[in-house]
């Protein structure tokens, strides 16, 4: 089973990596015919690997058999990707965006920003910029088989954090100035919304679709009646408790650590 990590790996990545790691330099055409038994057209398989089409569940089960993996693990990825895609489609309508939400790249901006902030010491001490970049862009802390952030993505993250005064860079060193990234423009709001949707979808599917597997996900619902005047106090104390937990458990990012992303939503009805 894949190690639980930030929800970045999609079903398209599973198809691509299986073909590449199977060996014998399989082309898309050969893999579709020889390994998948002709159950998918080579052109369609190419679209699936690029994230332009979703595979059907029967094809995902066949791929799981080839990988000798529990099919429900891969089906959960497919279901999550479908949920996020549908959410992104509706999000464009809500925000009246003239352009589509750009799948992986736009959806990952907020994820990598969160990791970049988490990679800096909580005490605002200085560390080398090169070390910081290596920590937040590398795949291991997100998922053992995730793809490292691109150079373009790293540059976007650094520029955004410096503009928002969340980090300070000086003489080849960097330190934390703030902890929370607040989306301001339309593109950033889309990216943040997709990140939140992906996190919730992964957590929900981990608990509902993979109840017998140790995914590392914690999902609970608490409810209470509260005086509206005390909502600000409730939010303040909740934030303080979460901040203390993060500071107590945070450790250096290594190949053996997970990037734990905690999504909190307290909303009145």
**pLDDT tens profile 119-156:** 888 777 899 999 888 888 774 444 444 556 678 888 88
Task: Give the mean pLDDT of 102-114.
Answer: 62
Kindly state the tokens that stand for 203: 């957590």
CB contact at 8 A, 58 and 39: yes
pLDDT at 252: 80
Contact 164, 192 (CB under 8 A): no
Asked if residue 99 has pLDDT above 60, the reply is: no
Mean pLDDT of the chain: 83
Instruction: Give the pLDDT of residue 182.
Output: 64
Strand 127-128 and strand 167-170: pairing? unpaired
Q: What is the pLDDT of residue 234?
A: 96
Question: Tokens in use for 138?
Answer: 């590398």
Q: Pick 217 or 142 by higher pLDDT.
A: 217
Q: Quick one: CA torsion of 113, 118, 123, 125, rounded to 10 degrees?
A: -70
232 touches 114 (CB < 8 A):
no
Q: Which residue has the higher pLDDT, 253 or 31?
A: 31
Q: How many domains does the chain have?
A: 1
At 144 the pLDDT is 45
d(CA 215, CA 73): 10
The predicted pLDDT at position 232 comes to: 94
- Non-local (6+) Cβ contacts of 200 within 8 A are 263, 265
pLDDT at 25: 87
Confidence of residue 162 (pLDDT cuts 50, 70, 90): confident
The DSSP H or E segment spanning 16 is: helix 11-22
Q: In the predicted model, what is the mean pLDDT of residues 97-102? A: 43
pLDDT at 190: 78
Mean pLDDT of 99-124: 67
Which of the pair, 4 or 63, is modelled with greater confidence? 63
pLDDT, tens only, 79-97? 989 998 888 887 776 665 4
pLDDT at 78: 95
Instruction: Report pLDDT for 187.
Output: 74
Q: Picking from 90-94, 153-157, 170-174, 250-254, which range would have the lowest pLDDT averaged per residue?
A: 90-94
Range of the domain at 143: 1-269
pLDDT score for 1: 37
113 vs 231 pLDDT, higher one: 231
């Amino acid at each position: 089973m894949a190690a639980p990590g930030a929800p970045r790996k999609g079903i398209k990545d599973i198809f691509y990596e299986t073909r590449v790691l199977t060996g014998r330099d399989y082309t898309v055409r050969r893999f579709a015919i020889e390994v998948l038994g002709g159950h998918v057209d080579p052109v369609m398989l190419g679209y699936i690997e690029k994230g332009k089409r979703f595979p059907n569940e029967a094809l995902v089960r066949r791929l799981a058999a080839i990988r000798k993996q529990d099919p429900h693990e891969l089906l959960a990825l497919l279901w999550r990707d479908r949920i996020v895609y549908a959410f992104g489609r509706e999000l464009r309508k809500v925000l009246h965006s003239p352009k589509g939400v750009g799948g992986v790249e736009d959806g990952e901006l907020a994820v990598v920003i969160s990791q970049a902030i988490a990679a800096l010491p909580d005490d605002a001490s200085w560390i080398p910029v090169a070390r910081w970049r290596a920590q937040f862009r590398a795949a291991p802390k997100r998922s053992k088989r995730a793809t490292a952030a691109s150079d373009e993505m790293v540059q976007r993250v650094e520029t955004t954090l410096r503009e928002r005064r969340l980090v300070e860079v000086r003489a080849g060193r960097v330190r934390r100035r703030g902890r929370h990234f607040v989306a301001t423009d339309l593109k950033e709001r889309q990216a943040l919304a997709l990140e939140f949707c992906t996190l919730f979808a992964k957590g929900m599917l981990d608990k509902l679709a993979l109840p017998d597997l140790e995914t590392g996900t914690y999902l609970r619902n608490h409810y209470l009646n509260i005086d509206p005047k005390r909502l600000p106090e409730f939010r303040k104390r909740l934030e303080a408790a979460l901040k203390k937990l993060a500071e107590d458990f945070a450790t250096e990012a290594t190949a053996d650590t997970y990037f734990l992303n905690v999504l909190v939503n307290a909303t009145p009805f």
